[in-house]
A and B are shown apart, each in its own frame.
Chain A
Amino acid sequence: MANLGSAGGLHMYALTLQRASGVTGAVFGNFSAPRQQEIAVARGKILELCRPDDNGKVLTVVASEVFGTIRSIATFRLTGGNRDYLVVGSDSGRIVILEFVADKGGWERVHCETFGKSGVRRIVPGQYVATDPRGRAVMVGAVEKQKLVYILNRDSAARLTISSPLEAHKSASLTFALVGVDVGFENPIFAALEVDMDEVETDPDTHEPLFEKVLTFYELDLGLNHVVRKWSDAVDPTANLLVAVPGGADGPGGVLVCAENFIVYKNHGHADKRCPLPRRKDLPPEQGLLLVASAVHRQRDLFFIVVQSEAGDLYKVTVQTDGEDKDAVSEVKVRYLDSVPTCVALCILRSGFLFCASEFGNSGFYQFQGVGEDDESPSCSSLTFEGGDEAAAAAARARRGAVVELEPRPLRNLLHVDDIDSLCPMIDAKLLELGERGAPPSLVSLCGRSARSTLRVVQHGLSVSDLAVSELPGNPNAVWTVKKRKSDQFDAYIVVSFVNATLVLSIGETVEEVSDSGLKPDTPTLVVALLGEDSLVQVYPAGIYHVRADGRASEWRPPRGKPIVQASANNRQVAVGLQGGEVVYFELDETGTLAELDKKDPRPSRRRDLGLEVSCLELGRVPDGRARSRFLAVGGLDSTIRILSLDPDECMNVLAVLALPAQAESAALASLQLGRPGTPPALFLCIGLSNGVMLRARIDQRSGQLSDTRTRFLGGKPARLFRTSLGGGDGVLALSSRSWVLYSLAGALHTTPLSYVPLDAGASFASEHCPEGLVAIAGNTLRIVSVDRLGDAFTSEAVPLRYTPRRMAHHSVSGHVVVIESDHNALSADEKEEEADGMLMEACVGVPRGGAGKWASAIRVLDLAARRTLSVIELAENEAAVSVAAVPLRERGGETFIVVGTVKDMTLHPRTLTCGYLHVYQFAEGNTQLNLVHKTQVEDVPAAIAPFGGRVLVGVGSGLRIYEMGAKKLLRKAELKGLPTMVQSLHVISSQRIVVGDLSESFHFVHYKRADNTLTVFADDIAPRWLTAACPLDAHSLAGADKFGNIFVCRLPREVSDDADDAALMAASAGRDDLALNGAPSKAEEVVQFHVGETVTSLQKVSLGPGCAEVILYTTLFGGIGALLPLTSREDVELLTALEMHVRQEAPPLCGREQLFFRSAYFPVKACVDGDYLTLFNSLPAAEQKTIADDLDRTPAEISKKLEELAARIL
């Protein structure tokens, strides 16, 4: 990091590499078109539109970063409308109504009304949004006090209008839930669960607070234009969720109030109907069962409600009405449906699917097979509580026998269709080199929670799945696919060319060799294509062979002694390059014969001198509705590429010449859709160079001029390019020592590697099973593959774990990784067998709860190259592992031992423990197992361990200790007491300098004086930071991250001396054990400050691949991956800062939060440019891009080139 050491200001460029995959909210609706089944998914700061395809795979249509926190989303539809609007409650202090505009391919803000300060505040609305089921009003609520109602209407032009806000505030009232009650077309009513915090009393016996939780109906009087509290009624103090029951003509209306263990139907002027929930057998009776998510399905003649408990069990709730009176509820029934992982939101699609947005891990997509109408499933009814009053309920609770028990079982009513991959929660990550040297490193990440935990090996690259792999008789050098006739949807033949033969395979149920294709088998082939309607052309060194469908064939032969060396063909044109540098061009005429149009020698004057050869030819696809491709690209051995015109009147005229840094190996013309939908596609010439670089230049459609050249390093071998189709349009397969694809998706251009073996040649492939795949050659194998999930730049492979992973250590000698796993509130493996024998499918249905202060924990050794577990040590006696490190020990000749810090009987609120231990493990059995050497007892949590010159540095609670290896235990050698809270992380900078990350008070710089064997704090940070991750950048600087989602770099000023004597003298705490306020004599400075918006869980200073700059890589709890790139030139900093300012003017974020305020949510943003925000520049209309670029004295292409270069420097 060149810039880090310099005295000049450090400036960072922050860019998200992989957006977060955890879900915070989801709603179902028809957003883009009427009847289009879609789900709007909120992922913290990202709003996504997802749509299931015909095969039940859920695809992301568009993902937009909103530069704010989305706290709640809801939909509404105006009466008579056929599409839904989305209301977003965020931290912007504004109500935002979004509409999906299909033409623009994105969300558009219809209304944005400010009502309060920005930020997540307790009295500023945004926490809850509720809409009237008939789309007449929306209520936005805060956690405390404030509620605002907006009336929605249409103006004469049928546009959505919004009224000024109507207040429904009540001070000191705390809101738990908010929902729009279905009242048909009477005045809209909103129901809220509230507690008046001023009316709290204390129970004289238990000292528990006594409060009244009420259900309040707010009525919006449309005639008088104001909101009144219409009705208020007490509910259970544990009530937490409201579900609106369909009303009007569809049902009885009213709400279901969900409390611990119960659901109560309530409505104004209606008796309560109370129904208990079936409970899991293993749930202790004193523990309440909370409902956390719900979904309502309504059809013309029926509706039903699905709710989910915190354990993951889905229940179907039926609200039975009396025969005559449709508004009188006679019974509420709750029936166990199935068990799926616990969700934050459930969406029932009209097409009979259920989208389960899991709070952690992969989200699920299920199809309803039934709705639990069989009588075996455990069910409860409100009728069992005659009258359903409080006393009866309490009595029933007391009668343990009356509780209906359930045992989770495999899915019966739901069919699992798809999983939406999620890395959330990502608890720790390390970039490691797992493969051979030179291969790009993989991000080893600890993901998931409890029984769904995994270790994932995340790699940069699109995931590729094999459809078929077959061996070939030799090593082929090229492959093509051709259709039988132009109108066919799928390819008919795969043609493979060897050194001296050509193999034709037909595509059907199986792929097998055929000889009736009419192509010459006994010669190598240069190109094969479908010509015209149904004829084939085969170009081989000795000629061009044109085969008609009826078997007639014609042939063209080059002049003697000038064989064909290069060729390119499309549906109507063929171009060949002869040895010696002649290019001959053919076009299909009206009679269907291939006619030579013109000859052209690229460099006639210099041919003889240099013997200049054509190194590549490229025609491109015939554009739809045109007779020909207008351009021919000719690469020469003199490191140039020329664009020749193919227009009949200026045929073979040179339109443009581009000098290249190396010889062109191959070229591909692709027309890609960029920018907003509706803009015409742009034509690009991609050139693969012999030095492994791919150049991409834009071709002017009219003049053929090349401009806006971008480069990208692909790998160590010459780059070969192949035209394919990807993402429904043109794409390019670029092969070097790594395989890449270039394609456009949602208006953006992507260049992404494939996570696959290196390939030698490839072509597109379309068949019934795989409408958009690739056929490729790797060595002597022919592979048919499909590229999955375009747009996701990372792929991951999972290794299952037993408990929530916490930390990992890398054993550099063997390359193995040690992972510690621990779960609070869980039962360890041996306890489980006793208590809940026969629990199956833990990953689906969860594990039994152990209760507070009960831990299950394990230490695991993994071989990541083989992706498998080598050994597991289960910790006994309620011990839980909290920290791990690989430590070379001086006393044992520098052998690396694994030190694990554990706690015994720890409780979380408040933190208490019996004791902690330091386990020392030695590798055995060829580094596959760990043997316990000894355990050392410590009195507080050993939360951080680090190697320190052959000794062990341990943070024990708020103290820092140096231990030395002993025969029976670790021996304490030095200690520093009185750090503020708890040592969270330890970084050894040098043999004298240690940096301690405190849990809540940021960094403390510690000097170790060897002579006196003392540790002294000589400097600390000014800001109180709740650290979650840290990494040292150089001797004076550290990058850190806190749990509120900030990343910062802090640096010791040059003049700070770490002379411990000075420090000890100056310290306010001199001679005392504890640090006083602002204890250390010197303070670190903050040089960079940036708000990511998600809790950051790991930080590393790494380079992400060959040719990439060193960056600070971060991962977030929601599974996001991003990087901070230090900017190296003053000029870049100025340009990017100015650009950021302009983009702020032209592209305000979607949800109303100002980008600058968002990035400064906790601390003012400093010395960091928001790369994610700058990429919005590319999606601005051309005119606005031009204005911004003019102000910056640049062209729009230069700016987007700069952004692309920066992104390529990171990854």
Chain B
Amino acid sequence: MTSQERFSVHSQLEHLQAKYVGTGHADSTKFEWAVNQHRDSHALYVGFDSLSSFFAVAENEAVGRVKFSSLQKMIQPCGPPPPKEDD
């Protein structure tokens, strides 16, 4: 692999990284990883009606309320980010 090819692969990866939110990379922190997991899950709860109905029955809430709280939780699913370590 020439250096140019390597560079192109690298930039392609970066492009994909930006395109597909939540794919993670070598420098992903545990926090980012967890946030992505939670956001993916909550997006599924909203998008897959069977699950929101399932939760609505368990919690005895309206389906609309369950979907709304799932979306609200997506904003910051794992609490505030840990303080950045200065480098």
- The chain A residues found within 8 Å of chain B, CB to CB, are 22, 24, 44, 69, 71, 91, 120-123, 126-127, 143-145, 171, 174, 176, 195, 197, 200, 202, 207, 209, 211, 240-241, 290-293, 310-311, 342, 344, 359-360, 424-425, 427, 449-450, 804, 823-826, 908, 1043-1045, 1093-1095, 1116-1118
What residues of chain A lie closer than 8 Å to B50, measured between beta carbons? 44, 1043-1045, 1093-1095, 1116-1118
Contact between A69 and B54 (Cβ–Cβ < 8 Å)? Answer: no
Contact between B60 and A804 (Cβ–Cβ < 8 Å)? Answer: yes
Contact between A1044 and B60 (Cβ–Cβ < 8 Å)? Answer: no
Contact between A823 and B60 (Cβ–Cβ < 8 Å)? Answer: yes
Alpha-carbon separation in the docked complex, A1095 to B54 (Å): 8
Alpha-carbon separation in the docked complex, A382 to B49 (Å): 35
- The chain B residues found within 8 Å of chain A, CB to CB, are 18, 20-22, 39-40, 43-44, 46-51, 53-54, 56-65, 68, 71, 74-76, 79-80
Q: Give the residue of B39, B43, B57 whose beta carbon is less than 8 angstroms from that of A427.
A: B57
Contact between B64 and A290 (Cβ–Cβ < 8 Å)? Answer: yes
> Given A122-B39, A344-B63, A344-B64, does the pair A197, B21 have CB atoms closer than 8 Å?
no
Interface centre among B46, B47, B80 (most CB of A within 10 A): B47
Contact between B71 and A174 (Cβ–Cβ < 8 Å)? Answer: yes
Contact between A290 and B47 (Cβ–Cβ < 8 Å)? Answer: no
Alpha-carbon separation in the docked complex, A144 to B40 (Å): 10
Q: Give the residue of A22, A290, A424 whose beta carbon is less than 8 angstroms from that of B65.
A: A290
A826 to chain B, nearest CB (A): 6
Nearest opposing residue in chain B for A1116, CB measure = B50
A177 to chain B, nearest CB (A): 9
A65 to chain B, nearest CB (A): 15
Count: A-B pairs, CB below 8 Å: 136
> Given A171-B21, A209-B80, does the pair A292, B65 have CB atoms closer than 8 Å?
yes
Given contacts A143-B43, A195-B75, A197-B76, 8 further A-B contacts (CB under 8 A): A120-B48, A123-B20, A126-B47, A240-B68, A290-B62, A425-B57, A825-B59, A1043-B51
What residues of chain A lie closer than 8 Å to B71, measured between beta carbons? 143, 174, 176, 240
What residues of chain A lie closer than 8 Å to B80, measured between beta carbons? 202, 207, 209
Alpha-carbon separation in the docked complex, A1004 to B76 (Å): 35
B47 to chain A, nearest CB (A): 4
Contact between B60 and A824 (Cβ–Cβ < 8 Å)? Answer: yes
> Given A310-B61, A359-B62, A908-B58, does the pair A1044, B51 have CB atoms closer than 8 Å?
yes
> Given A122-B40, A310-B62, A825-B59, does the pair A127, B21 have CB atoms closer than 8 Å?
no
Contact between B62 and A143 (Cβ–Cβ < 8 Å)? Answer: no
Give 20 pairs: A residue, B residue, CB < 8 Å, sorted on A.
A22-B53, A44-B49, A71-B49, A120-B43, A122-B21, A126-B47, A174-B74, A209-B75, A209-B80, A342-B62, A342-B63, A344-B63, A425-B53, A449-B57, A450-B60, A823-B60, A1044-B51, A1094-B50, A1095-B54, A1117-B53
What residues of chain A lie closer than 8 Å to B44, measured between beta carbons? 120, 122
Contact between B49 and A24 (Cβ–Cβ < 8 Å)? Answer: yes
Alpha-carbon separation in the docked complex, A449 to B55 (Å): 12
Contact between B60 and A292 (Cβ–Cβ < 8 Å)? Answer: no
Contact between B53 and A69 (Cβ–Cβ < 8 Å)? Answer: no
A1043 to chain B, nearest CB (A): 6
Interface centre among B20, B39, B49 (most CB of A within 10 A): B49
B26 to chain A, nearest CB (A): 20
What residues of chain B lie closer than 8 Å to A824, measured between beta carbons? 58-60
Contact between A211 and B53 (Cβ–Cβ < 8 Å)? Answer: no
Nearest opposing residue in chain A for B48, CB measure = A120
Alpha-carbon separation in the docked complex, A433 to B7 (Å): 70
What residues of chain B lie closer than 8 Å to A240, measured between beta carbons? 64, 68, 71
Alpha-carbon separation in the docked complex, A918 to B84 (Å): 49
Contact between A143 and B57 (Cβ–Cβ < 8 Å)? Answer: no
What residues of chain A lie closer than 8 Å to B53, measured between beta carbons? 22, 359-360, 424-425, 1095, 1117-1118
Name the 5 nearest CB pairs between A and B, nearest first.
A292-B64, A122-B43, A310-B62, A120-B47, A209-B76
Alpha-carbon separation in the docked complex, A296 to B79 (Å): 39
Alpha-carbon separation in the docked complex, A22 to B49 (Å): 10
What residues of chain A lie closer than 8 Å to B47, measured between beta carbons? 69, 71, 91, 120, 126-127, 143
Nearest opposing residue in chain A for B47, CB measure = A120
Alpha-carbon separation in the docked complex, A359 to B67 (Å): 13
> Given A91-B47, A120-B48, A123-B21, does the pair A211, B63 have CB atoms closer than 8 Å?
no
Interface centre among A174, A211, A1093 (most CB of B within 10 A): A174
Q: Give the residue of A91, A144, A424, A804 whose beta carbon is less than 8 angstroms from that of B21.
A: A144
B84 to chain A, nearest CB (A): 14
Nearest opposing residue in chain B for A260, CB measure = B68
A718 to chain B, nearest CB (A): 46
What residues of chain A lie closer than 8 Å to B58, measured between beta carbons? 824, 908
> Given A425-B53, A824-B59, does the pair A200, B40 have CB atoms closer than 8 Å?
no
Alpha-carbon separation in the docked complex, A291 to B64 (Å): 8
What residues of chain B lie closer than 8 Å to A293, measured between beta carbons? 64
Alpha-carbon separation in the docked complex, A130 to B80 (Å): 33
Alpha-carbon separation in the docked complex, A1045 to B50 (Å): 8
> Given A143-B71, A143-B74, does the pair A804, B57 have CB atoms closer than 8 Å?
yes
Contact between B49 and A1043 (Cβ–Cβ < 8 Å)? Answer: no
Alpha-carbon separation in the docked complex, A1065 to B50 (Å): 43
Interface centre among B43, B57, B59 (most CB of A within 10 A): B57
